[in-house]
């Protein structure tokens, strides 16, 4: 059975960047993606904060160019879901639903998924009013109202960031007090643009193509409140920060994890020689396309060095 130099698990920006660098280094490279190549960024209708994107750029167009670049350097891409791994030997083994794959080095770029609320209309309006990343999408809601769902550090910090763009920011929380650090709470309470809706959750989101209405339910009284975008605004934003789910459960018996994320050093090296992690799946402070592609490049360069050391 064929032994690849590098097998990359995950086809988002980190995985595609790793594939490009590995392929360009003339390593036999296989990229495995269980769903659609591109990851979460594929849902983004416009990108403004990736260097060089000075014209209209969407997640789909950026990923399309990344895929073509990788293919030009001989990267093989297949669709399969890895169900079992064995990193105990020099040749690593990944068992998929369709086939079993072997490689000298592995790069895990399986990403992390923003937790969903599960309310009606949520999936329909992702990228059309619903967002899970203020850094990515705040500027699209300049001068508009936005709602932030969540009560932890991330939710409140992102709410504060959104005040730089939005006309008004309303934090919706299921409890009657925030879980964020006291210092962050204090900043939010002092910000005149921020208000709070307590003991409440979003029940539904709706609109004609873009988000136009949200229904908020008080979890204690059952009372429902509707917010409808004005004809002038046409839309508003709902930013959801209720946590992330790293896609790393498959590796928990093979690698060291921290709160579900894969631990690496600055060279993307995991706790097992020859196994690297890149992008949102690893422990890191900023999860953006620009940091994901950097991780992918570093991991591929280090994988090449590791492979050369075996010879």
Residue that is written with structure tokens 């849902």 in the block? 43
Which positions are catalytic?
133, 136-137
CA 146 → CA 117, 162, 237, distances in Å? Answer: 16, 8, 4
Q: Using CA atoms, how far apart are residues 72 and 297, in angstroms rounded to an integer?
A: 17
CA distance 25 to 20: 9
Cβ atoms of residues 94 and 82 within 8 Å? yes
Partnered with residue 14 across adjacent β-strands are none
Q: Which residues of 196-213 are buried (b: 16+ CB within 10 A; e: fewer)?
A: bbbebbbbebebeeebbb
Question: What number of CA atoms fall less than 13 Å from residue 254's CA on the CB side?
Answer: 22
DSSP string, 81-118: -EEEEE-SSSSEEEEESS-EEEEEEEEE---EEEPP--
CA nearest neighbour of 278 among 50, 98, 5, 16:
16
Q: Are 48 and 165 in contact (CB under 8 A)?
A: no
Whole-angstrom distance, CA of residue 119 vs CA of residue 259: 26
List the structure tokens of 181: 């650090």
Spatial separation of the C-alpha atoms in residues 22 and 300, rounded to whole Å: 5
Q: Which residue has the tokens 């072997």?
A: 102
**Token pair in block for residue 73:** 């350097």
């Amino acid at each position: 059975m064929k032994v690849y130099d590098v097998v990359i698990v995950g086809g988002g920006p980190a995985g595609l960047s790793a594939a490009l660098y590995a392929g360009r280094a003339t390593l036999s490279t296989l990229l495995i993606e269980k769903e659609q190549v591109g990851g979460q960024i594929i849902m983004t209708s416009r990108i403004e904060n990736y260097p060089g994107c000075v014209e209209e750029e969407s997640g789909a167009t950026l990923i399309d160019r990344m895929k073509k670049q990788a293919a030009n350097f001989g990267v093989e891409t297949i669709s399969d879901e890895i169900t079992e791994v064995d990193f105990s030997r020099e040749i690593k083994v990944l068992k998929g639903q369709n086939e079993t794959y072997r490689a000298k080095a592995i790069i895990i770029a399986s990403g992390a998924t923003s937790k969903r609320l599960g309310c009606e209309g949520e999936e329909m309006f992702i990228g059309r009013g619903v967002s899970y990343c203020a850094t990515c999408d705040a500027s699209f809601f300049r001068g508009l109202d936005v709602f932030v769902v969540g009560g932890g550090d991330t939710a409140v910090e992102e709410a504060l960031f959104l005040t730089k763009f939005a006309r008004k920011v309303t934090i919706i929380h299921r409890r009657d007090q925030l879980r964020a650090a006291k210092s962050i709470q204090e900043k939010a309470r002092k910000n005149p643009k921020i208000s709070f809706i307590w003991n409440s959750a979003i029940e539904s989101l709706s609109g004609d193509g873009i988000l136009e209405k949200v229904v908020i339910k008080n979890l204690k009284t059952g009372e429902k409140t509707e917010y409808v975008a004005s004809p002038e605004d046409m839309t508003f934003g709902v930013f959801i920060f209720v946590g992330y789910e790293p896609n790393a459960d498959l590796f928990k018996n093979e690698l060291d994890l921290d709160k579900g994320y894969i631990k690496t050093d600055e060279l993307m090296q995991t706790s097992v020689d020859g196994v690297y992690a890149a992008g949102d799946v690893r422990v890191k402070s900023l999860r953006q396309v620009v940091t994901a592609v950097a991780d992918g490049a570093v991991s591929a360069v280090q994988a090449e060095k590791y492979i050369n050391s075996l010879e």
